[in-house]
A and B are shown apart, each in its own frame.
Chain A
Amino acid sequence: MQATFAPSTQNKTRERLLRLLVFLPIVYLTLLAGQPAGLDLVKTWNTIVNDPAILLQQLINGLANGAIIVIIALGYTLVYGIIELVNFANGDVFMLGTFIALVAISPFIIVRPDGGQIAPWWAALLGFIPAMALCALLNVFIERVAYRPLRNAPKIIALISAIGMSFILQNVGLQIASFGKLPQVGPQFEFLRVLGTNNAAPKSFPTILSNDNLLDLIFPPPPEPAAAPGGAAQPGGEISPDDIQATADAILIATMDAEATLGAAITPEAEVEEGTPDVAAAAEEATPEVIDTLEPTAAAEETALVATVNALETETAATSIAEGTPVEEALTEEELVEEPTPDIIATMQAESGGVDPIVADTSGSQDAGAAQGGNVGVKTRIRITLKDVLVIVVAVILMLSLSWFVQNTRLGKAMRATAQNRDAAQIMGINIDRIIALTFAISGALAGAAGMMTGLYNGTAVFTMGFTAGLRSFTAAVLGGIGNIRGAALGGIIIGILAAFSDQFLSVRWTNAWVFLVLVLVMLFRPTGLLGQEGGEKA
């Protein structure tokens, strides 16, 4: 549609006008339709104006979460760069990495008198090693089994194989928690106790790094206002009902998410069909009043869930907001049954540090939200904790090392050559199989590192987190320009910040949708990504 001759000024203005004409209705429609998704410019503006520190705080949270996304995105981008395959299983390797990290540090867990679990700081470093090593091996194995035989097949076939692999790994993640029952067998299995007794429930990491605000060291905090409930750990504000609702929301989201994936994947029809038609049939015969009170099994669980959340919010949300840690396992685990779906809800309430880390960032937004206290009018105090710093530092280190490796070593050069032109590289004497295996190993190691970082930062491991994390990371990789290391970094940061802002200013429940929307828009309008080089569409 571009004119081949130099466009006259008339054409340019008309073109700009047309673009504006199309752009404005789209903006209006977005403002209209985005409202159920939490899009409310006025409210956002008010929030920011009242408390500008929130913006900064969410920036920091976004950066920290984004750092984790960057690491996983690097994995995606490396593999795509070298064999042009979207390694769906990468997210699930990350999830397994989290589990491995959890088990690796479990021998060093110390249980506090109040029931909380902590671990010494060097346990984190110890956790990185097995997570990275095992995930690297796992990734190499996956490549060998699922992708190498299909290297010359149409890309679709390899993609389908990748999806299958992702499902298999998710199931492994689910069943790995069965080993959490071994401690009952004998004391030599005590270290597996962290895996919990319900396969599908989220597992909590011990607190490894303190949540103290580093800024307190530089700028001593102002004296607490008299109305504050007190306590040194409090960020300095009352907890408003909105924050409690936010925590309740977050827990609700996590349980719904996990239950959703479980409910559909594990028992897709059984619960719904066998449970509800009888109820519905009974409902048909019942009087109108009875119909109102009659609820199908799933809905009854839902009310139980809401009730438990309400109960939770008063007791534990306060502590969790104050300390910024996942809710302690001081809550007793209810009777645990193997059927995942109905009782999952109960047990997830019990172990409800269980906020899917990628779904709802507890540490960050809760802190900011807690201190926001709109009604009380106390400003947010920006928190930068050791966790934030460490996560960002580790991510930067990993990224720089990877960059250095790819640019400055022989193997890195071989990787680049294979990515550019596989056949030519082979002719030049490069062992393609080994280089591809190396790429997968690096990608796996990165995923494992991300797993440990997630355990450190978000403190939860659940078998469904790989899917969400994978999709967000892939979005980040595409946004930055797939096949491009710097692009993955940029994309990860943007997605992390976007997710944090969405959690805070829009609505936690819709963040996933907004991220996917970004993915769709990028694919449509700029498939090469922001820093992209090669052609985004494949013939």
Chain B
Amino acid sequence: MSRNLLSRQEVIGVILGVVLAMIMGGWSVIIIAVTIGTLIGFTSESLRADMRRALIVGLIASVAVALGAFIRNEIISQLPGQEEIPDSARSLLAYGGAIVLGTLAAWIVASIRAQPDDKTRRTGTLIFLAVCAIIFPFFNTLTGLDIVWSATIIVALIYAMQALGLNIVAGYAGMLDLGYVAFFAIGGYTAAFLMSPQLLGPDKANHVSFWIVLFIAAAIAAVFGLILGAPVIPLRGDYLAIVTLGFGEIVPIVFRNLESVTIVEPISRIVTAIQGIPEQVICLVGCNGVPLNLTNGTRGLNPIDRPVLPFSIGPEGFSLMPYTFETGRYIPWYFLILILVVLAAFFINHLRRSRLGRAWVGMREDELAASAMGVPLVRTKLAAFTIGAMFSGFAGAFYASYVSFISPDAFDFSISVIVLAMVILGGAGNIPGVLLGALLIKIVDPLLLDKLQVIIGGILNVTILEWVQVPGLDNFLNSLLNPTQYKLMLFGLVLVVMMRVRPQGLIPAGIERYKG
């Protein structure tokens, strides 16, 4: 093994970082550099025991990233229609900071990984990640990047929560659930029912507090996980997938169409109709000519209350004034979802190591053998569905409050597939993999594609359209080569390519590592 050349993973990491920097530019260079440095520290085997090499490779990567940002800041900005990059972001402070911090990150991670003791390694990693995670939103707000990065990461973490839940069903228990969005919708709508004017009136005093709603939504989602999971117990493989897909389609349809509900008692309806006195039917819901508007159809429910903290932490320090979360102030949201995801991860990890977790994995590997060894199949499967749905409920409630608006159009089959793609990309059956998959997909999609579109538009304008003065060609090319229109293809490709190349995911679960 030649130790002088960069390993394949390192090269991929560097290229990724450079491309990202070339698209984003500005202060993002620091974030990108630190991330790439961390990834290099984690994934490069060759760095494990060699601090000096870690320093060198980290330095190379960080310089490359800084160069990429330079290209974006100076060269690409010249193209027409590009987003402005403020001067402070193109300063030596930015580049220098990127290089220094990126190298530092690689070195720290490598030195943590070089520790002989497993426990020290784990603790060290967690502390490092925690520090990064805590500094991250403050850095964003400071540099004005919070609209870009903090917002994206918050959404990514919402999906990460769902991915954790789906990981239980599909990763641990091996049941391919294609209708996972149904639980997301149920959690979201439960939160909306309890926190919006639709059912409980406009007076916020009548609404339920977010903190309670969070758990209620999760519980209701769990109950539906039970209800929707029960029928699919005898099914396996394809059939399970299709049926769950059906459920995933039915639920948003139900929510979409419950805007004028009138329910009468069926027997009385038939009886009164026969006797020719239809008006005397026993009406249960939505009577007196005013049908009940439960979900407001496609118009959705809004506004949905935000969480309220009994204290505030501001520039003046700690005070006992209540603080309501607001749009645009990303830091509280960020920490809230971060804490939720971390707690979820710990909980699920604990579950995985428990008897239930082992039952899941055993059931996934060989149902018959597991059953023969005393694993109660029905209970185990139901547990997987229920607990998996619960996390989706959490995510749904948070989402409803974060966006303060909920509509059935947001709960589409494509979301189920996106979450599935996250689980598969990262590595089904293991938590770090799933989180990585979630972050990767949910960062690429909103950030890269939009900005890439602007850049490609600029390039087109300057190159082809200058040379080929054909009318209407710009319209055509801009439409055909618009990256934001290729999101479906992106997810599809992730699925197809991953299945061909690396079905166990980027970070394979422990068992697969042994299988080889």
Contacts and interface: CB of A to CB of B under 8 A. Distances in A.
Interface of A: 28, 31-32, 35-37, 40-42, 45-46, 84-86, 145-146, 149-150, 153, 155-161, 163-172, 174-175, 178-179, 181-186, 199, 256, 259-261, 263-270, 272-273, 276-278, 280-281, 283-284, 288, 291, 295-296, 298-299, 302-303, 338, 340, 467, 471, 474, 478, 507, 509-510, 512-513, 516-517, 519-520, 523-524, 527, 536-539
Interface stretch (B137-145, B342-350, B371-379, B465-473): B465-473
Contacts of A146: 496, 500
B410 A263 contact: yes
Interface stretch (B61-69, B238-246, B308-316): B238-246
Given A167-B489, A510-B253, 9 more contacts: A174-B485, A266-B487, A474-B242, A507-B257, A509-B257, A516-B249, A517-B246, A519-B246, A537-B236
Contact of B263 (A36, A158, A536): A36
B380 interface: no
A270 B471 CA distance: 32
Contact of A153 (B254, B413, B492, B503): B503
B476 A184 contact: yes
Contacts of B496: 145-146, 161, 164-165, 168
B151 A273 contact: yes
B243 to A, nearest CB: 5
A39 to B, nearest CB: 9
A182 B258 contact: no
A480 to B, nearest CB: 15
22 contacts: A42-B270, A158-B499, A159-B237, A161-B499, A161-B500, A165-B492, A175-B480, A183-B472, A260-B298, A264-B409, A266-B484, A266-B487, A266-B488, A270-B446, A272-B403, A277-B402, A277-B404, A280-B302, A280-B303, A291-B202, A298-B298, A467-B413
A159 B273 CA distance: 50
Contacts of B243: 519-520, 523-524
- Do most interface residues of chain A lie in helix, strand or loop, or is the interface mixed? helix
B409 A273 contact: no
B328 A537 contact: no
Contacts of A261: 412-414
Given A36-B261, A280-B327, A471-B249, A179 B405 contact: no
Contacts of B446: 269-270
Contacts of A303: 299
Contact of A266 (B299, B300, B471, B485): B485
A268 B236 CA distance: 31
Contact of B487 (A153, A265, A296): A265
Given A149-B500, A161-B496, A268 B256 contact: no
A164 B485 contact: no
Contacts of B265: 32
A505 to B, nearest CB: 15
A156 B414 contact: no
Given A41-B270, A153-B503, A167-B491, A509 B412 contact: no
A89 to B, nearest CB: 10
Q: Which 5 A-B pairs have the closest CB atoms?
A: A184-B472, A164-B495, A264-B412, A167-B492, A277-B327
Contact of A302 (B262, B299, B485, B493): B299
Nearest to A295: B299
B516 interface: no
Nearest to A37: B257
Contacts of B256: 256, 260, 509
A181 B479 contact: yes
Interface in B266-300: 266-267, 269-270, 273, 278, 298-300
